[in-house]
Structure 1
């Protein structure tokens, strides 16, 4: 397979450092507990990272992830060692579940994100704003896909589509049924050759069914919708990069029960751009948009110019961002104090010799 089919372009080529002579360039297509499947022009290789790469990594974010371009040394027809992760032009990440101040990389080098939600209980405009904030913070262009449109009446579908288009005026919204293929022609038409698309969404919204439909192959296992809950059961357990027949590149992801936001201040500003524009007209520069006199934002909420639910979600996400920032600062202080303690211990030990 040619590297161009995996999304290789001049921008990536120009990022190559000197000293990579003799190494093969490939793209990570799957990851399993720090073991990687890498596709290059010579084939697919099971790869591990070098000890030096592991030792010099400042954190888990410095390890390879699905979508990464890497330089590797090929040993035989099946195995290789990854020596370097090439610079990323986009990184989609979230706050790791249950781990304080840790970041989990979802995928890298993504151009567009298909944010999938379904017409059933999964439908949530507030959760959509979380996904949009993740995308905007990484300069990834979002596209909203409303799936399972075959499960509701036409008037209900029109209502849901209207809610999405009214709340997210600048974001493309597509209605589909991945199981019946209704609406998939439009999705295929917007997929560009050599561009990488990432699927985001909660468990059971039909992402794996969508991957199978777009690839026209049974690549991902899917399970029947529950007769009781009307929800599909999510079966994707790992991230995987797939090259589609029309030349697009697709990355499927396990469903996310929690969408914790990392450092996404710029993403918040983009997602809630209308609130940010109004904030410039507040009486006080440090306005929190809650109780201050002369707040242009709260006035717009009261008049109905700003959706109240969107406003409340904005405040919630801002509080999460402040908490995350303070947690990061606390972690850095602890790491710095620990480093000083180790340095002092070594000094005392050396002085006693």
Structure 2
């Protein structure tokens, strides 16, 4: 095994120096409650973080995550302490569940995200656009995978693909079946050594089956869809990085039913490129595309050149992103105020001594 097998590609090389005197360099392949597995070309180590790294972290995002390159020291045959998290060239993240204003890291140093939806019950264009906005906020290339195509006819599969291309441009779509392996040859041709891939999607869409089939081993547990609710059962309970036999690295993630936007506003504009192109012809540069005169977006909406659902989802994500950003700003201001208060209290205590 080499560093390239672990995903050390050109993007990583630009940011990461492997010259760490007395330290080993490896990649986090499993994370579970601040305990980690680190892989190097020679070995796998069980690791924890130093107290200094834990207490200097301003948020959870500063701690190691699956996909990170880290430096570490070994104190036993396969036990280690993580010293430093190296710079990330991409961070796939979402708004933390039930913690508005906080981000949750899904995976790091990802090149391509496989966004997976099942054609039988899970397919949703609005949700696809949400996933793509999250990917584009970190400049990760999205690829759409439609699973369970064996459950519907080819005519319906073609209609779904056409509906995607009508609303989402410049994103590849691969229809597959985890049962018949239809579409796998085309998908595998896109996987190259050195790249890191991440599977995103709701529970029950076939993410674990996809990973198993790409790995050529029954590594991940697979459960069936609930017949009563048509919702997926959680099978992957943690994030894990795996090396593919054809080259490339794959990160499987737990199913996500909540997917809050945590990126910047530009990532939404890059997702809805049809609206972005139309906006160039708006009368006002800061047009919100809601009520302004001579708005090219509203004109296209009225004439039927822009889909109503696309327009509504665009504004929904914009509002969500704006609210998230304001909440982050409020939290930072509050933390800064508390920091000044603690500093003043400490200074007063020091004077009394």
- Could you state the TM-score of these two structures normalised by the residue count of structure 2? 0.95
The answer to whether structure 1 residue 98 and structure 2 residue 69 are counterparts is: no
Q: Distance in 1 between matches of 2:130 and 2:350?
A: 52
The answer to whether structure 1 residue 241 and structure 2 residue 238 are counterparts is: no
- CA deviation digits over 1:54-109, x for unaligned, max 9? 12212110111101111111122220011111111111001100002111000011
- Matched-pair contact (CA < 8 Å) for 1:29–1:37: yes
Deviation at 1:264, TM superposition (A): 2.6
Q: Distance in 2 between matches of 1:22 and 1:140?
A: 33
Q: Distance in 2 between matches of 1:332 and 1:229?
A: 41
Q: Look up the match of 1:121.
A: 121
CA pair 226-70 structure 1, distance change in 2 beyond 3 A = same
Paired residues for 1:1-353 under 5 Å? 1-9=1-9, 12-13=12-13, 15-16=15-16, 20-229=20-229, 232-353=232-353
Please, what is the CA RMSD of the aligned residues?
1.7
- CA deviation digits over 1:236-290, x for unaligned, max 9? 0001111111012110000111110113322111101221222232223332211
Q: Distance in 2 between matches of 1:292 and 1:13?
A: 47
Deviation at 1:18, TM superposition (A): 8.5
CA pair 344-201 structure 1, distance change in 2 beyond 3 A = same
- Could you state the TM-score of these two structures normalised by the residue count of structure 1? 0.95
Deviation at 1:41, TM superposition (A): 2.4
Q: Distance in 1 between matches of 2:9 and 2:291?
A: 51
- Matched-pair contact (CA < 8 Å) for 1:65–1:107: yes
Tell me the matched-pair count: 353
- CA deviation digits over 1:290-316, x for unaligned, max 9? 122221111111111111101100000
Farther-moved stretch of structure 1 (155-164 vs 240-249): 155-164
Q: Secondary structure at the match of 2:339?
A: helix
Deviation at 1:223, TM superposition (A): 1.1
Q: Distance in 2 between matches of 1:43 and 1:351?
A: 54
Q: Distance in 1 between matches of 2:306 and 2:27?
A: 43
Q: Distance in 2 between matches of 1:13 and 1:170?
A: 27
Deviation at 1:228, TM superposition (A): 4.5
- Matched-pair contact (CA < 8 Å) for 1:220–1:236: yes
CA pair 18-242 structure 1, distance change in 2 beyond 3 A = closer
Q: Secondary structure at the match of 2:189?
A: helix
Q: Distance in 2 between matches of 1:174 and 1:219?
A: 23
Question: Unmatched 5+ residue regions in structure 2?
Answer: none
